[in-house]
């Protein structure tokens, strides 16, 4: 497979087709296809914050160790924002660290982009609409019909909405929604508006390194600097997903001065 960014669905050698929730496609991937696992090699998979929470918990690692062992940081095109991709193994095929001959060893907790394929998540890279387009809240997707993928020769038909349910992406998208919004918002800024290095560090911390973000919130002066009610403090201490969503709101306030995050007087 050509080196492509599975998060954006924008491969160099193919022309992705724009899809809405009711568009149909024929596809099925299973162990019987001759290309099985070939798409888990030589590919750039950008991880969302919730992907990292699922994977690091599955592997029993703190977030900083997961990031160090399994990811490569880089900047997302046209956003000036740090993202992390799954690291390739150092083999000839640049295999994903989680692929084996009989499939993915983290399948139940596989990243959002792996769930979506053969759809690309369009929201982050193509939110801007052209003349006559409508940019509704359902977002839109790209269908990527790659010639090497034998899944397109199978018989099963799906709508985009059915595929999303089957692959369990709704919960991922729901949890990541405010983070996605941050990226889209930054992407819409003129390129000369740059974030400070400190702002990028905070974005990385709250987006990807949840265990150190928890320490930052509860073991620094953070809680004395913002109006955070006791119920919220208790909730985010106990619930990692709530902490993640809280982090997205905080990032929105420090990066864009938006939302209801209030500093103490």
Q: Which residues bind ligand SF4 (CB under 6 A)?
A: 29, 33, 35-40, 45, 96, 98-99, 104, 106, 110-111, 114, 117, 149-151
Shortest distance, CB of residue 249 to ligand SF4, whole angstroms? 29
Shortest distance, CB of residue 130 to ligand SF4, whole angstroms? 29
d(CA 265, CA 39): 53
d(CA 132, CA 82): 32
Shortest distance, CB of residue 86 to ligand SF4, whole angstroms? 6
Nearer to ligand SF4, 30 or 194 (CB): 30
Say which residues have a Cβ less than 8 Å from residue 6's Cβ, sequence separation at least 6: 43, 44, 45, 46, 113, 114, 117, 120
Shortest distance, CB of residue 163 to ligand SF4, whole angstroms? 12
Shortest distance, CB of residue 137 to ligand SF4, whole angstroms? 27
Of the candidates 191, 181, 170, the one whose C-alpha atom is nearest the C-alpha of residue 259 is: 181
3-state SS class at 157: strand
Nearer to ligand SF4, 160 or 236 (CB): 160
Nearer to ligand SF4, 114 or 236 (CB): 114
Nearer to ligand SF4, 149 or 205 (CB): 149
Nearer to ligand SF4, 118 or 247 (CB): 118
Q: Which residues pair with 82 in a beta bridge?
A: 75
């Amino acid at each position: 497979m050509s080196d492509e960014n599975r998060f954006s669905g924008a491969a160099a050698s193919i022309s992705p087709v724009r899809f809405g929730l009711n568009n149909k496609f024929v596809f099925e991937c299973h162990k019987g296809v001759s290309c099985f696992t070939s798409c888990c090699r030589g590919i750039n998979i950008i991880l969302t914050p919730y992907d990292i929470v699922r994977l690091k918990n599955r592997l029993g690692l703190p977030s900083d160790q997961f990031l160090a062992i399994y990811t490569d940081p880089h900047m997302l095109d046209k956003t000036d924002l740090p993202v992390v991709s799954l690291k390739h193994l150092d083999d000839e095929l640049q295999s994903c660290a989680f692929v084996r001959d009989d499939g993915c060893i983290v399948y139940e907790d596989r990243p959002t982009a792996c769930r979506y394929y053969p759809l690309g998540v369009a929201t982050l890279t193509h939110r801007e609409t052209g003349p006559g387009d409508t940019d509704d809240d359902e977002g839109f997707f790209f269908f990527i019909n790659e010639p090497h993928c034998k899944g397109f020769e199978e018989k099963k038909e799906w709508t985009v909405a059915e595929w999303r349910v089957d692959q369990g992406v709704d919960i991922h998208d729901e949890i990541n929604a405010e983070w996605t919004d941050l990226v889209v918002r930054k992407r819409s800024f003129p390129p000369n508006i740059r974030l400070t290095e400190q702002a990028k560090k905070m974005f990385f911390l709250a987006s990807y390194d949840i265990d150190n973000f928890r320490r930052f919130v509860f073991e620094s002066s953070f809680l004395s600097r913002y109006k955070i009610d006791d119920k919220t403090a208790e909730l985010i201490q106990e619930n990692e997903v709530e902490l993640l969503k809280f982090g997205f709101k905080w990032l929105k306030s420090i990066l864009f001065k938006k939302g209801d995050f209030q500093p103490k007087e």
